[in-house]
Amino acid sequence: MGSLSEIKKQFQAELKASPKRIKVVVGLGTCGIAAGGEKVFKALDKYIKQNELQADIMSTACIGMCYAEPIMEIHIPDGPRIIYGNMKPETAVEILKNHIYEGKINVGYAIAQETRGNQVIEDIPELKDIPFYSKQVKTVLGRCGVIDPERIEQYIAADGYEALEKALTTMSPVKLIEEIKISGLRGRGGGGFPTGRKWEAAYQSNDSKKYVICNADEGDPGAFMDRSILEGDPHALLEGMALCGYAIGADEGYIYVRAEYPLAIRRLRKAIQDAEKMGLLGQNIMDSGFNFKINIAAGAGAFVCGEETALMHSIEGKRGMPRVRPPYPAQSGLWGHPSNINNVETYANVPAIVRAGGSCFAEIGSANSKGTKVFALTGNINHTGLAEVPIGISLREIVFEIGGGIQNNHCYKAVQIGGPSGGCIPEDLLDTPVDYDSLLELGAMMGSGGLVVMDESTCMVDVARYFLQFTQEESCGKCTPCREGTRQMLKILERICAGEGEPEDIPTLERLCRVIKDTSLCGLGQSAPNPVMATLRYFQSEYEAHIYDKKCPAGVCTNLLKFWIDETKCKGCALCENICPVKAISGERKQVHYVDQEKCIQCGNCMAACKFDAIVRA
Amino acid sequence: MCSCGEGIKDLRYTALEKMLENYQHCPEKIIPVLQETQGIFGYIPAAAIQQISNALDMPSSEIFGVVTFYGQFHLQARGKNIIRICSGTACHVRGGGQVLDAIVKGLGLMNGRTTTEDLMFTLEPVACLGACGMAPVIMINDDTYGRISPQEVPAILAHYKEKEGGQVWVA
C-alpha cells in the first residue's frame, strides 16, 4: 500500500468526484432504529430505485438529536444540507419528491440547515445557531452522524489514522506519553484519573507482554455516549488504542463490549477487518515494525464488569468479580501482565490530541479538567440526545439551553448525574460548573456522563429506591458490606415507599451509607450509597413526608396515595364502578359515587377510565 | 428406537460439537463458547455443560459458576421471542413500569413467571438498552421499539404472535 497521505488524497478525490449527485442520509444508530429509521430508509431507497433518481442513499450513526429521530438529511449539489426530523416513511418520500422535483423545502419538518457557503433558506435555523448545537464543541463526536462508520475510507478522508502515522514516524513512546500528560486528559469513565500518568505507569512496568484494554461495558442506566462512538466512529477508538499500545509497548488489545450492543459489535468487527486489510492494524503497521492486534470480548450482562479488575477476570473467562488493588492493572493486569485500561471516550480523544498537540487540547475546559465531555441527556427533558460540551459549562446551560428545558412545561426538580454511583443536583446548585472536582463536592460525580432530568412528578425516595434495587441486584456478592448492606438499605427504602417508614430509618440509612462507603471492596459498593446520600442531603423533606405524614408529595408511591371522587364533577355513569377490580366504588346510577378507602388498592384504573376528570389522587 | 424429536435434538448437539472444535482446551474462551451454545439451543442445557467441560478441559462446576454469574445465560428453556424491557433510569422516569405491566398482562404471565406456557415469549427486564433518548424502550428479538406507550403494547405483541413459525431454534 502507498503512504497514508496518498490514500487520503485518493479517497478525498473519490468523495469529491460525485458531487453532482443528490445525497440522502438517514440516521440508523440504535436510537434511529428504535424510532423507526429503518422503515424510513427502506421507503426512500425503494422510491429512489423505482424512479431512477440520480441520488445516493446512505446511513449514518447518531448525530445526537435523539429527540428528533428518525432523521433524514438531503444534500442537493450546490445547495444547503437540510435536516428533517420526526420522519415517517410516507412523509419522508413526499418531502424528498417535493425537494428534488420542485425544489420545495418542507419548512414544517426541517429542523436545521447547513449552508456551506450556499444561499440560506428562510425560516429554517442554521445548524450552528440552534440552541442544541450552538453550545456544543465536537471533538469526540465530530464524525458521528457525518461519516459512514462502515467505510474506512471516509474516516481516512477525515484525517483518520494520521495521528497514528505521526506517532509512529516522529514520536518516541515517552514523547507520546508526555503529549497526553500536557493535554490534561482525564479518564472519561467516571473516576477521572489522569490518562498520561496511567499510561506512564504501564510503560514503566517491565514485561515482554502487555495489553491495552478498552472498557466498553457501558452499564450505567442513562448513559449511551460510548455506544454512539462505537456505532458512529469505531475507527477513532481503534486508532486511540493503537496509539496507547505504541506508548506503553503493548502488541495486543481487547475491547470489552456489552452484549446488549449488537450493532456496535458488528461495526467494530468490520472496522478491525478493514483496518487490518489496509495495514493500519496487525503486523508491522505502516512499515514501522510496530505490531498491534485488537480482539473483541462480548460481555455477558454483569454491571460489575465495568470495574476494571472484574472486567479483566471476565475476559479471562472467569466470574467477573473484582479483587483488591494494589497491584494495579499497570503492574499486574490481564493474565498477570501489565495492562492499561481506559473507556471508549477516553481513547477516542487520543487521536485528536496527537494530531493537534496536547497544549491545543488543554485550551478547552476548566483549570483541572481539560477538553470536552459527552453527556447523555434523558428523562423529562425536551431535547433528549447526546451533547458534547467543554468541561466547566454550567448544568443550567446543559439542561435549559441545550436540552431545551423541561417537558410539558413542568418544573425542574433535580438532575441525576453519574448513574447508580452518582447523585442528584437540585435547582439552586444548577449554576455549578460541571467538572470532576466540583461535582464530587456536591456529592455527585461525573460518572460516564448520564444526565437524567427529573421534574416534580418524580419522587426522590423512589429514585433512591430504584438505584439501590439496581446496585443490590448487580452486587457480585464477594464482599459483605456491599452484598448485605445494600440489601438492608433497600429494605428500609421499600418500607418508606410503602408508607411503613419509622423515624429512626433516616439515621440508620445514614449509618449504613457511611459503613458501606468505607468498607466495600470495589467502586460499585463504595459508590452504591451515593444516590441515597445525595437525596437525603437535598430532599430530606420528602423522606420526612413519607415517614411522618405518610404522603408522597410527587404522587408516585402508590401505597401512599388516596383516590376519591370529586362530587361536583361525578355524573354517576358507573364506569369507575365497573372497572374497579376490588369493587371499592359504589353509588346509585346518575348519583355521585364513593370510594371505599378500606378496599381501594390504589391501582388507578378508575382515574384512567373516568371521562369527567372526577377522580382525584393525592 | 427413533423419533423425530430426537432427530432434531441430535442436530443441535452436532452443531455444538462442531463449534467446540474451535475451542479445544481453551478454558479462557468459556464466555464466547456459552454465548454460541445459547445461540444454538436458546439456553444452556445441562447435557451441553458436560460436553463443553470435556472439550475445554474445565470442570463443569466452574462452568456452572460462570453461567450463573452472568445475567445473559439461562439454564431453562426460553420462549421463541425474547422481549427485553429496559428498566434503566430514563425509562423508569418516563413510565417504563406501566409498559412492563401492559406486557405482563398481554402475555398472561402470572406469579412472576417470565416465559409463556406455549414457549412463544420470554420477558426479560434488562438494566439499560442504551437508547435512553427514546425512553421507554423495549426490544423484541433484534427489533428495538422506542417511545412506546402501554396502549401500543397489544398491537406489537400481536405482530409477533402472527409471525408464528417464522423463527426456529437455530440462531
pLDDT for res B168: 36
Nearest Cα residue to A394 out of A438, A335, A342: A438
Residues making up chain B, counted from first to last: 171
Residue B134 reports pLDDT greater than 90: no
**Interchain CB contacts (distance < 8 Å): A and B:** 139
Gap from A224 CA to chain B (nearest CA, Å): 5
Same topology between domain A160-361 and domain A372-455: no
- Chain A contact present for B76, CB below 8 A: no
Q: Which residue positions of B form the known binding site for [2Fe-2S] cluster?
A: 86, 91, 128, 132
Instruction: Please give the residue of chain B at the shortest CA–CA distance from A317.
Output: B28
Residues of B within 8 A of A218 (CB-CB) are 130
Tally helices (H) and strands (E) across chain A. 25, 18
Residues of A within 8 A of B89 (CB-CB) are 221-222, 378-379, 416, 419, 450, 452, 463, 466-467
Task: Answer yes or no: do B90 and A221 touch at CB < 8 A.
Answer: yes
In this complex, which of B32, B66, B89 lies closest to A222 when CB atoms are compared?
Answer: B89
User: Hey, is A371 helix, strand or coil?
Assistant: coil
Whether omega for the bond prior to residue A326 falls within 30 degrees of 0, making it cis, is yes
Task: Answer yes or no: do B131 and A223 touch at CB < 8 A.
Answer: no
Question: What kind of architecture, by CATH, is found in domain A19-130?
Answer: 3-Layer(aba) Sandwich (3.40)
pLDDT for res A519: 97
Nearest Cα residue to A173 out of A249, A97, A271, A82: A249
CB neighbours of A408 closer than 8 A, spacing ≥ 6? A380
Gap from B115 CA to chain A (nearest CA, Å): 19
Instruction: Please give the residue of chain B at the shortest CA–CA distance from A385.
Output: B133
How far apart CA A363 and CA A368 sit, in angstroms, is 11
Cell 426541517 -> residue: A110
- Chain B contact present for A320, CB below 8 A: yes
Instruction: Please give the residue of chain B at the shortest CA–CA distance from A221.
Output: B88
Nearest Cα residue to A68 out of A139, A147, A140, A125: A125
CB neighbours of A266 closer than 8 A, spacing ≥ 6? none
- Just give the CATH number of A460-547: 1.20.1440.230
CATH superfamily of A160-361: NADH-ubiquinone oxidoreductase 51kDa subunit (3.40.50.11540)
pLDDT for res A118: 75
Task: Answer yes or no: do A384 and B132 touch at CB < 8 A.
Answer: yes
Nearest Cα residue to A421 out of A307, A549, A313: A307
What sign results for the dihedral spanned by CA atoms B38, B42, B44, B47?
negative
pLDDT for res A362: 96
Residues of B within 8 A of A33 (CB-CB) are 144
Confidence class for position B170, pLDDT limits 50, 70, 90: very low
Residues 516-575 of A with CB under 8 A from B: none
Q: Strand runs (DSSP E) across A309-442, as ranges?
A: 339-343, 372-379, 385-390, 412-417, 423-426
- Chain B contact present for A412, CB below 8 A: no
Residues of A within 8 A of B28 (CB-CB) are 315-317
pLDDT tens digits along A55-96: 889 888 888 898 999 999 998 887 888 999 999 999 999 999
Task: Answer yes or no: do A298 and B32 touch at CB < 8 A.
Answer: yes
Task: Answer yes or no: do A34 and B71 touch at CB < 8 A.
Answer: no
**DSSP codes joined into one string, A174-234:** HHHHHHHHHHT-B-TTSS--BHHHHHHHHHHS--S--EEEEEE---STT--HHHHHHHH-H
**DSSP codes joined into one string, B24-90:** TT-GGGHHHHHHHHHHHHSS--HHHHHHHHHHHT--HHHHHHHHHHSTT--SS---SEEEEEE-SHH
- Just give the CATH number of A372-455: 3.10.20.600
CB neighbours of B119 closer than 8 A, spacing ≥ 6? B77, B78, B79, B80
- Residues in chain A where the model's pLDDT stays below 50: none
**Spans of all domains in chain A:** 19-130, 160-361, 372-455, 460-547, 562-617
Task: Answer yes or no: do B93 and A380 touch at CB < 8 A.
Answer: yes
Q: What is the largest CA-CA distance in chain A?
A: 90
Task: Answer yes or no: do A384 and B135 touch at CB < 8 A.
Answer: yes
In this complex, which of B35, B130, B133 lies closest to A385 when CB atoms are compared?
Answer: B133
CATH class for the region spanning A562-617:
alpha beta
In this complex, which of B28, B71, B135 lies closest to A378 when CB atoms are compared?
Answer: B135
Residues of B within 8 A of A223 (CB-CB) are 128, 130, 132
Residue B167 reports pLDDT greater than 50: no
Residues 55-114 of A with CB under 8 A from B: 66-67, 69
Q: How many CB atoms lie within 10 A of CB B59?
A: 11
Domains of chain B: 4-69 (no CATH), 81-162 (3.40.30.10)
